[in-house]
């Protein structure tokens, strides 16, 4: 039976690293998170661009600036949902993993204040364009007339298929941001090892270590290729914060070694940047959603 035509609003947050330009093209709403630099607060992508953030985030006299992030308040989410509810009876919100932030729960609270509207949430269990890919899938499904429930059902499958890998050369940002213990920080400095970070089931894990960024990127490529076949169509995003040469080489390897249907290149966002700093690179991959659309 053909799906009933259903239009609904799609909401995400700025941790998705979807640009405002892409958001406009996709017809989605982005709720900005907050970035705090040396006590000054900025709305992500509104008050400060990614490039401006990384410029302000540079070390001064060898020290990391005071960097932190904050979720939008329930009141802020309510304002966005209330505005969208004027023209949409249904709203789908897809957000940053709830295992790393309270943003998801705050969005749910904000939505509960809106009366007489069907607002549903999906916990992406991912970050950056791992989340962004789920939003992109939702946009495609909406354009095909799928209902909000059909979209959620598929997103729950697809979020288990998303792969996220990253490496960064300056551990002092992760240490300052509370994402790396002092013991691991000094252990890494002493042995000159760089951890490869993975996001699995919504949490950050270590997927090995390497002595150089180049070797780390090679290991990330090996992990991604190992988990797919040459015939399988995939979507890949490559994000970085100032490693142009590695970024271009990484893209070329994926295009040569995999059946890439969609490739996204982007500059890593301010929220993630507050914890990983300049000189980082990440890979985000998901299989084509059509493969899983009719699977039980």
Give residue limits of the domains in the chain: 9-33+71-158, 163-292
Token code pair at residue 12: 């995400």
Mean pLDDT over 87-105 rounds to 96
Q: 192 pLDDT band (50/70/90 cuts)?
A: low
* Predicted pLDDT of residue 179: 55
Query: For 48, how many CA atoms within 13 A lie in the half-sphere containing its CB?
Result: 22
Predicted confidence (pLDDT) at residue 124 exceeds the cutoff of 50 = yes
Q: 174 pLDDT band (50/70/90 cuts)?
A: confident
Tell me which architecture the domain covering 9-33+71-158 has in CATH. Answer: 3-Layer(aba) Sandwich (3.40)
* Predicted pLDDT of residue 181: 54
State the sign of the Cα–Cα–Cα–Cα dihedral 181, 185, 186, 191.
positive
Distant-in-sequence, close-in-space partners of 292: CB < 8 Å, separation ≥ 6:
154, 157, 158, 161
pLDDT in tens, 128-168: 999 999 999 999 999 999 999 999 999 999 999 999 999 88
* Predicted pLDDT of residue 274: 87
- Residue 284, phi then psi, degrees to nearest 5: -130, 130
- Quote the pTM value: 0.91
* Predicted pLDDT of residue 193: 74
* Predicted pLDDT of residue 178: 57
Q: How far is CA 82 from CA 93, 131, 267, 271, in A?
A: 13, 23, 31, 25
Instruction: Supply the angle between the helices 128-143 and 148-158 in degrees, to the nearest 10.
Output: 150
Calculate Rg over the CA atoms of the chain.
19
Predicted confidence (pLDDT) at residue 6 exceeds the cutoff of 60 = no
* Residue 45 Rama label (left phi>0; alpha psi -120 to 50; beta): left
Quick count: other Cβ atoms within 10 Å of Cβ 193? Answer: 17
Can you say how many angstroms the Cα of residue 16 is from the centroid of all Cα atoms in its chain?
Answer: 4
Predicted confidence (pLDDT) at residue 86 exceeds the cutoff of 50 = yes
43 versus 172: the higher-pLDDT residue is 43
Q: 176 pLDDT band (50/70/90 cuts)?
A: low
Q: Does 3.30.1180.10 match the CATH number of domain 163-292?
A: yes
* Predicted pLDDT of residue 2: 38
């Amino acid at each position: 039976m053909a799906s009933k035509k259903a239009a609904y609003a799609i909401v995400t947050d700025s941790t998705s690293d979807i640009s405002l330009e892409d958001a406009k093209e996709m017809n989605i709403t982005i709720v900005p998170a907050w970035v705090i630099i040396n006590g000054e607060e900025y709305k992500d992508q509104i008050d400060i661009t990614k490039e401006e953030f990384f410029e302000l985030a540079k070390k001064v006299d060898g020290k990391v600036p005071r960097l932190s992030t904050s979720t939008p308040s329930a009141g802020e989410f309510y304002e966005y949902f209330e505005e969208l509810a004027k023209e949409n009876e249904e709203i789908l919100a897809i957000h940053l993993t709830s295992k790393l932030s309270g943003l998801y729960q705050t969005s749910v609270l904000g939505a509960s204040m809106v009366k007489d509207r069907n607002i549903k949430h999906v916990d992406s269990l991912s970050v950056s364009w791992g989340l962004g890919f789920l939003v992109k899938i939702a946009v495609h499904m909406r354009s095909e007339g799928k209902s909000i429930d059909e979209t959620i059902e598929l997103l729950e499958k697809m979020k288990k298929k998303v792969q996220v890998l990253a490496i960064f050369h300056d551990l002092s940002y992760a240490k300052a941001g509370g994402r790396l213990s002092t013991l691991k920080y000094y252990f890494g400095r002493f042995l000159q090892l760089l951890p490869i970070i993975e996001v699995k089931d919504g949490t950050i894990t270590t997927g090995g270590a390497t002595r150089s960024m180049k070797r780390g990127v090679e290991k990330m490529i090996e992990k991604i290729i190992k988990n797919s076949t040459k015939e399988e169509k995939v979507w890949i995003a490559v994000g970085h914060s100032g490693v142009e040469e590695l970024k271009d080489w990484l893209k070329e390897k994926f295009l040569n070694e995999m059946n890439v249907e969609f490739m996204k290149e982007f500059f890593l966002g301010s929220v993630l940047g507050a914890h990983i700093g300049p000189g980082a690179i990440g890979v985000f991959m998901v299989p084509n959603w059509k493969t899983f659309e009719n699977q039980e």
